[in-house]
């Protein structure tokens, strides 16, 4: 298992956590507060909350390390989107992970097959 400093949490992991998926809770506890999140993760998680109900989500997101989307990451995301025909948010997540040498922890095996993409980690299924 990778440590939290080696992992970028994809949005679906945290969305599962807020949907009371026990496997997500166990996984998030296992990587601790050193895991990374991106602006994509933050936006995708917060869109599921009304503004006056987002405080728990914001508090959770702020526990993790912030991974900005720098120009090199954005350029890589554009290339990955063209190559793999991923949705732009998925391309950003992949680019952020690849650029920093992180594992992308996701449940999205449809777009991110670990057999095809060595940087992908599917920590649980539901």
Decide: 110 and 125 in contact? Cβ < 8 Å.
Answer: no
CATH 3.40.50.1010 fits 4-121, yes or no: yes
Q: What is the pTM (predicted TM-score) of this model?
A: 0.93
Q: Structural domain boundaries of the chain?
A: 4-121
Report the distance separating Cα 114 and Cα 18, nearest Å.
25
Determine what percent of the chain is predicted with pLDDT higher than 70: 97
63-80 core/surface letters (b: 16 or more CB in 10 A; e: else):
ebeebebeeebeebbeeb
pLDDT in tens, 32-68: 998 999 999 999 999 999 989 999 999 999 999 999 9
């Amino acid at each position: 298992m990778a440590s939290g400093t080696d992992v970028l949490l994809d949005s679906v992991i945290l969305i599962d956590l807020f949907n009371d998926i026990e496997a997500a809770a166990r996984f998030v506890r296992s990587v601790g507060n050193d895991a990374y999140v991106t602006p994509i993760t933050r936006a995708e998680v917060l869109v599921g909350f009304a503004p006056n109900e987002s405080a728990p989500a914001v508090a959770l997101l702020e526990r993790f390390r912030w991974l900005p989307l720098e120009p090199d990451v954005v350029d890589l995301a554009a290339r990955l989107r063209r190559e793999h025909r991923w949705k732009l948010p998925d391309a950003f997540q992949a680019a952020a992970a690849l650029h920093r040498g992180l594992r992308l922890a996701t449940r999205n095996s449809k777009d991110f097959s670990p057999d095809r993409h060595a940087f992908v980690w599917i920590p649980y299924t539901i």
